[in-house]
Chains A and B, each alone.
Chain A
Amino acid sequence: MKSIPDKNILLFKSCLVSTEYPGIESSTKYIFDKVGVEYVIDHDQSCCTGLGHYSDVFNQTSTTLIATRNFHLAKKNNAKNITVMCATCYAINKKSVKLLNNNDQFREKINAVFEDSSMEEMKYEKESFNPSDNIFHVVEVLFNKKDEINKYVNMDFSNFRIATHHACHYCKVHYEDTIGGFRNPRILDELVESLGFNTIDWYNTKRNTCGAGFRQRFVNKPISMKVTGDKLLELNKENVDILIHMCPNCQMQFDRYQPYLSKELGVDFNVFHLNITQLIALAIGGDPYKTVGIQTHTVSIEPLIRRILDIEV
């Protein structure tokens, strides 16, 4: 397995984490601080363009130009290990590093834009980043620290049926780099297990996409909702209490639209949606509101926490 860093990390800001589930960022910071992962956040880093890129608004040149500027910021901070909270940031940044390293003509074109703009310092030097060794998802950094995290667990989720939703843009785009498998992706299952809890592991729709489909949620809602509903119905069949996420876009699709789908389909869906960092932060003592940010969720997390506290009392 590739070596995973615990320092010189740029914690890469994500648009949907920032604006929908900021608790993912504060939970990540909380865990990193607890287990000694050294990171920086650079407030001049722009978003990766992902939502616009996959809505066909940004072409590859614009997206990679923006990525190159962000790579420069990583270097400037001596934090070349770009670590993302969103699966689409992961796919976008890896793709841009590959292009910049392998396509000399394109790299020169990008560098010419920086030169023309008097931003020479941002020019990309071939091989200065490696797609496998410099671009990580937070789950990978946590995977590397799972034994350390286990020492801090003080909240018990073992009475719940937990399932995992592995984001497509982590498992299916650059799958040669995916840790924990991509046919039956298990990195989230392994992280949950390392906390001392079980997951249901495989279920029929485990590999299915969340249904957001970038444009589909907005302009093709019936098929977007059909895909999301199919997965929720399967989770109901499996009596799942908690679905664990690793991407804010997937989390938005399930958490925000679950009540809508309950109404549309006339089925009670009672699944709690948590990002893996939120589950871990809760399990190791993070404050539900001040660290985990459950107040931004549509499906309330309060009943889940009350159930745990009742059991403990």
Chain B
Amino acid sequence: MSVQIENNPLKFARKILSDLRASEDMGLLKCVQCGMCTSTCPGAKNSDYNPRGMVEKVLEGEESIISDEEIWNCFYCYTCHSVCPVGNNPCEINQILRGIAIDKGIANDKVGSFAGYGDSFLTIGIGAMPKSFFMELNEDIEGWLDFKSKLEEIREELGLGSITISNESIEEINTLLKKVGFNKRIEELKK
């Protein structure tokens, strides 16, 4: 029997460190597995998500972590980061792992319902909550849609200007985002 040793176990960790979402000084390679992240994490408290375990997998080069359902329970609150003794950032690592899953096309069922943020950004310059969530919000929050119908009126009473931006600015945003493949990404997510 032979023992197989991965030649370059830190390859995956380095890939994560070089991602744009990784802060320059992220202490991933300094992680001592103390578990402060998990002990303060709202996701870990209420599900099987375990940021310490996630970081361990990353350091061991286990790329399969990107298809672990539990990574979708992170709240993006950065509490882990704010208590980490070595400046690691499990929250950002999570964002990067989800990003890899999205790019691989294996996370559309997770993110597809939020694609509306992109559509509304391209239409009015604001990433407004997707309309598909409105009915549930209105069921949970008494009078919410009623308030929404009066929003313009209230804003006027408060002396505030228009919510949306000029057509010229919307065109600018559309031109720019198209150049970095944003529209394509949104359409992919909906598949």
Interface size of A as a range: 35 or more
Assembled-state Cα–Cα distance A139/B111 (Å): 33
CB distance from A113 to the nearest CB of B (A): 5
Q: Is the CB of B79 within 8 A of A209?
A: yes
Neighbouring A residues of B34 by C-beta, 8 Å: none
**Judging by beta carbons under 8 Å apart, are B24 and A98 in contact?**
yes
* B23 contact set on A, CB distance < 8 A: 95, 98
Contact surface of A with B, Cβ cutoff 8 Å: 15, 18-19, 22-23, 25-26, 29, 41, 43-47, 49-52, 54-62, 64-66, 69, 95, 98-99, 102-103, 106, 113-114, 116-117, 119, 168-169, 171-173, 175, 182, 207-209, 211-216, 218-220, 223, 226-227, 256-257, 259-260, 289-291, 293, 295-296, 298
B window 64-91: CB within 8 A of A:
72-79, 81-82
A186 to chain B, nearest CB (A): 15
Contact between chains at B42 and A119 (CB < 8 Å): no
A43 in contact with B133 given A66-B176, A168-B79, A172-B82 (CB within 8 Å): no
Question: Can you give 6 contacting A-B residue pairs, CB < 8 Å?
Answer: A23-B158, A47-B127, A57-B127, A58-B117, A209-B75, A223-B47
Instruction: Give the 9 A-B CB pairs with smallest separation, nearest first.
Output: A52-B117, A213-B75, A209-B77, A172-B82, A60-B20, A172-B78, A55-B114, A52-B127, A26-B158
- Which residues of B lie under 8 Å from residue A47 when comparing CB positions? 121, 125-127
Chain B interface residue number, banded: 35 or more
Contact residues in A for B176 (Cβ distance below 8 Å): 65-66, 69, 113-114, 117, 119
Q: How far is the CA of A300 from the CA of B121 in the complex (A)?
A: 31
- Chain A residues within 8 Å of B129, by CB: 51
Q: Which residue of B lies closest to A178 (CB)?
A: B82
Are the C-beta atoms of A62 and B127 separated by less than 8 Å?
A: no
Residue of B nearest to A27 (CB): B158
Contact code string B21-49 (vs A, CB < 8 Å = 1, else 0)? 10110000000000000001011011100
Q: CA separation between A65 and B185, bound complex, in Å?
A: 15
Find out whether the CB atom of B160 lies under 8 angstroms from the CB atom of A113: no
Which residue of A has the minimal Cβ distance to B19? A60
- Cβ contacts under 8 Å, B117 to chain A: 51-52, 55, 57-58
User: Does B106 lie at the interface of the complex (its beta carbon under 8 Å from any beta carbon of A)?
Assistant: no
**Chain A proximity of B14: nearest CB distance (Å):** 16
- Of the residues A46, A102, A182, contact of B125 by C-beta under 8 Å: A46
